[in-house]
Amino acid sequence: MRRGNRMRSIVFKSKAIFSRRSRRRRIGEKAGFFMITLRLLMLPVWLWSIGALYYSNLPWSWTRTAAAWILALTIPLALIFLPRRNRTMIVSYGCFLSIAIWYILIPASNRGDWRTGNQVLPFAVTNGDNVTINRIRDYDYRSENDFKEQYESRTYDIRRLRTLDILLSYWDNNKSVAHMMLSFGFDDGNFLAVSVETRLKKGQVQGGLPGFFKQYGVICILADERDLIRLRTDFRGEKVYLYRLKMEPEEVRLIFKDILRRTNTLISHPKFYNTLTFNCVTSLIPSLRVARTHQRYKWDYRVMLNGLSDHLMWERGLLIGGNHMTFEKLKEISLVNQYLSPGYNPKQYSRLIRTHLDKIAQEQQP
């Protein structure tokens, strides 16, 4: 009996020792995986932190530059020369976290010495089915930099909304990147164009990298097509394509109302532009989804490379004419510049840039 009890005790102790070792091994494996993950993330987090300091709200440019250089040099040197690299790495992440918290707390503001065209924020007042939009931009251009500034108020009956067009504007022979705009059509032939853009201060120049670091505000421009679109086709020499979305009038109304709501919100709650997460396309996606909340589409890289987004919409069957012609044919006839002959009447601008929609209607006839 004593021998049996002794054997059982030995077995139990062995199992306990084995169990403790297994737990330690598992903890060690998890800790090892955690440290490997930290090492892999170190480079992108370090680079982002350098950018966040360089483009931060520190009061003088030299302090921002100095802070960025100090971080850029200190972290690699510490990891190379200090013992206990794992501890040094964890301390580095603590520094990165402090920078991230500081960065998140930088507030957006509507105060600033804004560039011409960016000074005025539009707003809408709704009264039943009628909506009055104030500060609609309607510049009269003589050239890209020579124009008469003018804003006006217009009242629309939302029940008369019928169509929604998407426009892509390409510059400098870009194919993968474009500026996206919307245009809402009413049954009386009027259109209201929408463009979400960077709100630049005087002296600022828009750039892709600064756009990641809270350098620009956001403005939702509501404008006449002869301002917003004609500026690009006639004076900037950009190639503009117009596509009509397959949508019922009720869906168009839902999107219109949501865009006006978000436009009003920018007055009391300004936002920062972001090159990736809140640009001319990604800022509009929440409003476009309002009409079809039951549909969910898989993420696609062409949402970010928005110059290719028209092909994505064609693939998903969202464009009128897309079921009856190839994408190449649809894009060819959707280039609006070709319908603007020299000396055309600007009052006919909205009709002329939709000349191809008649061709699409003819293609769809049996």
Q: Residue 126's pLDDT is what? A: 95
Name residue 211's amino acid.
G
Give the DSSP H/E element, type plus range, for residue 147. strand 147-148
Please state which of the ranges 4-8, 41-45, 207-211, 285-289 shows the lowest mean pLDDT. Answer: 4-8
Q: Residue 329's pLDDT is what? A: 94
pLDDT above 70 for 283: yes
Measured from the Cβ of residue 175, the count of other Cβ atoms closer than 10 Å reads 9
Whole-number Å distance between alpha carbons of 151 and 146: 16
Residue in the block written with tokens 């609006």: 336
pLDDT above 80 for 366: no
Most confident of 80-94, 103-117, 352-366: 103-117
Q: Residue 359's pLDDT is what? A: 80
Whole-number Å distance between alpha carbons of 57 and 109: 13
The confidence band for 256, taking pLDDT boundaries of 50, 70 and 90, is very high
Residue 127 CA to chain centroid, in angstroms?
31
Number of residues that this document lists for the chain: 366
Q: Residue 20's pLDDT is what? A: 54
Q: With the C-alpha atoms ordered 309, 314, 319, 325, is the resulting torsion angle positive or negative? A: positive
Nearest-CA neighbor of 150 among 166, 139, 134? 139
Please state which of the ranges 74-88, 217-231, 242-256 shows the lowest mean pLDDT. Answer: 74-88
Give residue-wise pLDDT tens across range 288-340. Answer: 998 886 777 788 888 888 999 999 999 999 999 888 889 999 999 999 999 99
Please state which of the ranges 17-31, 113-127, 131-145, 252-266 shows the lowest mean pLDDT. Answer: 17-31
pTM of the model: 0.85
Q: Residue 361's pLDDT is what? A: 77
Instruction: State mean pLDDT over 85-102.
Output: 90
Residues 6+ apart with CB under 8 A from 269: none
Q: Residue 23's pLDDT is what? A: 58
Instruction: State mean pLDDT over 91-95.
Output: 91
Q: Residue 14's pLDDT is what? A: 52
SS3 221: strand
pLDDT above 70 for 8: no
Strands 140-141 and 130-137: unpaired
Instruction: State mean pLDDT over 281-291.
Output: 90
Q: Residue 39's pLDDT is what? A: 77
220 contacts 228 by C-beta, under 8 angstroms: no
Give residue-wise pLDDT tens across range 340-354. Answer: 999 999 999 999 999
For the chain, give the mean pLDDT: 88
